Amino acid sequence: MQFNRASGVLLHLTSLPSEYGIGDLGKEAYNFIDFLKKANQKLWQILPLNPPASGGSPYNCFSAFAGNALLISVDKLIEDGLLKVEEVTNVPNFAETKVEFSRVIKFKNELFLKAFNRFDELAEGYGYTQFKEENEYWLSDFCLYMALKEQFDNRAWNRWDKDISFREKQAVERYQSKLVDKIRYQEFLQYIFSKQWSKLKNYANYNGIKIIGDLPIFVAHDSSDVWAHPELFDLGDEGNSRKVAGVPPDYFSKTGQLWGNPHYNWKRMQENNFLWWRKRFEKLLEQVDITRIDHFRGFEAYWEVDASEKTAERGKWIKAPGYELFSAVKQHLGNLPVIVEDLGFITPEVNKMKKKFGFPGMEILQFSFNKKTLLKLRPDGYEKHCVLYTGTHDNDTLLGWYRELKQSKNTRVLKILEKYYGITNGMSGEKVCWTLIEAVYKSKANFVIIPLQDILCLGNEARMNFPGTVSGNWLWRYKKGDITKEMEKNLALLTRKYER
C-alpha cells in the first residue's frame, strides 16, 4: 500500500500529562491532537492499546483484543454522570513525569467500581448491546478470565484449579454464575474504554489526523487468548509453553532477547484459515487507521528457543506461513494499511514477502551510520516507500544518542554528521535535534515520524524502553506546558517546506 507524503509524532497515551498518574483518553489527549493539527502533522503513532500485565509493557498484555482500562478518563466519567466531583477530591500526589503503575491501578479501580455501581445497562440501550455483539469473539472469554485472575490471586491461568484451567464445561458454567458481577464489571470497563477511544479517534480523524496503531507479533502466555484457545499455541500437557519466542544476539543484546511468549501452533491456525488472526486485524483496524506490525520477520521465520533456556542464544529459525496468513487477512479485509517493523537482521525472504504485499518498512536515523548502510549516510539516501524515524520507543532519544557518540568519541560518525548534516561540536543539544529532525523531513521517505521526546530535545532520562530489561520501562510522561508554541511553529514550517 502506498502512503502519501506526511509527517507525525510518536507518543503513547500513557505519556500524556494527567493529574491521575497516567495519561488517559481525556482532555490532554484532545489537546495533543490540537497541537498536531496546528503543527501541520497528519499522523499520531501510539503503542498497543491492550491491557498490560505487571511492569506496564504494552507488548506483554492480558489480551490481544481488549483495551487498557487504565486509559479510561476519570474526568469523562464525571462528565457522563458516572462519578461525582466530590468522589474525586482525594487524588494522590502522583509523580508528574513518571507513571506509578501500582498506585494508579489502586486509585483508578476504586473510582471505576463506583462508576460501575452507577452504570445502567438499560439506559445505554442499543450502544451497549451492539458493543457486546460486535465483540462476542473475545469479550466474554476475556471478562471471565480477568474475574478468574482475581479469584485465583492473580496467578497464571494454568496455576488455577485444573477444571477451570482447562475449561471443563461445567467449571466454566459454574464460575460464570459465581462471578457474574465481576464479569459484568470487566464488560463495563471494556465498553467505557471503547466508547472513550472511539470519540477520541473520531476527533483525530475529523481534524485530519490518522492514528497509527501497533500489533505485537506474540501474545503473553498468561493471557485470555492462550487460556481460551490453547490449541492455537505450542503448549505442553500442563499448559506451559514448550518453546518460547525471542531474537538471537543482536545490536540490542549480546545474549539475544528472550521474550518468553509461547509460539503459535501455525498448523492448527491454518485449519480455519487463520480466524484468530483475521479477528485480531479486524479489531485493530476498527480502532486505528494504519497499523505497525511489530517484529515482521517472525512471520517469515521465527526464533524458537526451548522454554528451559535462560537466554536466547541457543535457538533455531523456523519457517512461518506469512504468505498464507497475509493473503487470508487481505482476502477478508481488503487492502491492509500496514507498516512493518523490519529492523535488525533481515533476510532476502523477508524483503520478498514485504514487497509482495506492498508493505512499507521502517528506517531509523540512529541506525543509519554503520558501515553496511553507507547509502543512508546522506539524508537523501532513504527510499520513498518507507517510514523514517529519528528513533523509536526502543532507542535512545536523539539527544541521548548524540551525547553517547561524543562521550565514546565516535569520530567516524561525528565526521559524517558534520559533513552531511552540518552538525558541529559547539552546537547546542536543541540545535542538534532540530537539525536532524529537518534532515528526516527533507528525505524522500513518504512518512516521517518523530518521537515527542526528540521534539522536546530530551536526553535519555526520557527514554521509554530498554530492550532486554524487565523493570523501569514504559514510565515516561511529559509535563503540561512542555510543548511550546515555538515547537508547533517549527514543525509547521518544516511540514510546509518539505511538502508533507
Domain membership of residue 243 (yes or no) is no
Q: Are residues 138 and 279 in contact, defined by beta-carbon separation less than 8 angstroms?
A: yes
What are the cell numbers at 444? Answer: 524522500
The amino acid that residue 20 corresponds to is Y
* 342 catalytically annotated: no
Does any domain span residue 239?
Answer: no
**Pairing between strand 243-247 and 301-306?**
antiparallel
Q: Catalytic residue among 341, 438, 454, 488, which?
A: 341
**Inside any domain, residue 253:** no
- Read off the CATH number of the domain in which 54 is found: 3.20.20.80
Q: Is 214 a catalytic residue?
A: no
Number of domains in the chain: 1
Q: CA triplet 186, 191, 197: central angle to 5 degrees?
A: 125
What does each of the 500 residues of the chain score in pLDDT, given as a tens digit?
668 999 999 999 999 999 999 999 999 999 999 999 999 999 999 999 999 988 899 999 999 999 999 999 999 999 999 999 999 988 999 999 999 999 999 999 999 999 999 998 877 888 999 999 999 999 999 999 999 999 999 999 999 999 999 999 999 999 999 999 999 999 999 999 999 999 999 999 999 999 999 999 999 999 999 999 999 999 998 999 999 998 888 766 788 888 889 999 999 999 999 999 999 999 999 999 999 999 999 999 999 999 999 999 999 999 999 999 999 999 999 999 999 999 877 899 999 999 999 999 999 999 888 655 555 556 667 889 999 999 999 999 999 999 999 999 888 889 889 988 899 998 999 999 999 999 999 999 999 999 999 999 999 999 999 987 878 999 999 999 999 999 999 999 999 999 99
Residue 149 lies in domain:
6-218+266-297+329-497
Q: Cβ–Cβ contacts within 10 Å for residue 456, how many? A: 18
Beta strands in 42-94 (DSSP E): 43-45
Q: Does residue 255 belong to any structural domain of this protein? A: no
DSSP bridge pairs for 373: none
- Which residue out of 282, 294, 324, 404 is catalytically annotated? 294
End-to-end CA distance of the chain: 18
**Predicted TM-score of the model (pTM):** 0.96
Residue 351 domain-assigned (yes or no) = yes
- Kindly name the residue from 80, 324, 394, 404 that is annotated as catalytic: 394
Joined grid coordinates for residue 301: 521465520
Answer whether residue 226 is part of any domain: no
> Is residue 313 among the annotated active site residues?
no
Q: Does 228 reside within a domain?
A: no
Q: Is residue 234 part of a domain?
A: no
